[in-house]
């Protein structure tokens, strides 16, 4: 009897296919209320590619934010409407940020804490504004509209040289992918055993001939080219 496919096991869920989020330091969102704080430390979070800045606010609470380039321990973090848009790490609404400024951790909806541009070394650019929206160029060069009340951080995210350091060993990459629930290594179906995949066997290495899965085949058999699309009037 064959085994379930990897994509079936991942969809079902289980300890082997769950990200180890209990080791994450924080979600690194914008503070819910306007407040001032000071950077007290920098930490590495397995769930983030960028370093996180540990911020201690005036009321004594501690939170974590995505660290921008050029900041150090002891620098202030201002998350109030009176923040200076020229200082890296300031958190402001898009309505209060000048055009041409590099920003990151942009909110999709006001108050959600930041959804866009959160990877190390990235930065978006605010290019123009309308009466209701701000036009932002994302790192993918795609332009997107955000409400002027959405907040963002000023600057460029730290850790831009992350990809310059090679993994060197497969085990190192395995642990990095495992922490974020990324599939590694990627193996083709033809390279697997017959018990693990419909394409897997060692009887022949020639897999060029297409054998489409039937229309009403079970889920474990629907791999590769599926049944032909229906044409004409349905009978």
| Consecutive 10-residue averages of pLDDT for the chain (235 residues) | 83 84 92 93 93 94 94 93 92 94 96 94 95 95 95 95 93 91 87 86 69 84 80 76
pLDDT score for 224: 81
CA distances from 129 to 77, 126, 147, 175 (A): 25, 8, 10, 43
Reading the block at residue 193, the tokens are: 């055993």
pTM of the model: 0.80
The C-alpha angle with vertex 85 and arms to 83 and 86, in degrees rounded to 5, equals 120
**Whole-number Å distance between alpha carbons of 29 and 52:** 11
SS3 state of residue 111: coil
**Whole-number Å distance between alpha carbons of 77 and 134:** 23
pLDDT score for 206: 66
Domains identified in the chain and CATH numbers: 17-159 (2.30.30.30), 166-205 (no CATH)
pLDDT score for 11: 83
pLDDT score for 118: 95
Instruction: Give the residue among 177, 227, 222, 215 at the shortest CA–CA distance from 17.
Output: 177
B/e letters for 113-150, b = 16+ CB within 10 Å, e = fewer, are: ebebbbbbbbbbbbeebeeeebbbeeeeeeeeebebeb
**Whole-number Å distance between alpha carbons of 152 and 49:** 18
pLDDT score for 109: 94
């Amino acid at each position: 009897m064959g085994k379930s496919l990897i994509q079936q096991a991942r969809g079902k869920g289980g300890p082997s296919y769950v990200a180890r989020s209990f080791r994450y330091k924080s979600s690194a969102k914008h503070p819910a209320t306007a407040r001032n704080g000071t950077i007290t430390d920098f930490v590495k979070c397995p769930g983030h590619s960028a370093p996180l800045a540990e911020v201690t606010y005036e009321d004594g609470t501690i939170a974590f934010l995505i660290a921008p380039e050029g900041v150090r321990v002891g620098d202030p973090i201002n998350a109030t409407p009176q923040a200076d848009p020229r200082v890296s790490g300031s958190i402001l609404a898009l309505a209060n940020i000048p055009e041409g400024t590099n920003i990151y951790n942009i909110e999709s909806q006001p108050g959600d804490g930041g959804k866009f541009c959160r990877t190390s070394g990235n930065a978006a650019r605010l290019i123009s504004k309308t009466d209701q929206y701000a036009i932002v160029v994302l790192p993918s060069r795609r332009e997107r509209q955000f409400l002027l009340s959405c907040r963002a951080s000023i600057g460029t995210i730290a850790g831009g040289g992350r990809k310059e350091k090679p993994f060197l060993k497969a085990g190192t990459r395995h642990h990095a992918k495992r922490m974020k629930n990324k599939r590694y290594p990627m193996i083709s179906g033809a390279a697997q055993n017959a018990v693990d995949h419909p394409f897997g066997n060692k009887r022949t290495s020639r897999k060029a001939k297409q054998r489409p899965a039937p229309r009403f085949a079970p889920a474990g058999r629907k791999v590769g080219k599926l049944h032909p699309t229906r044409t004409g009037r349905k009978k």
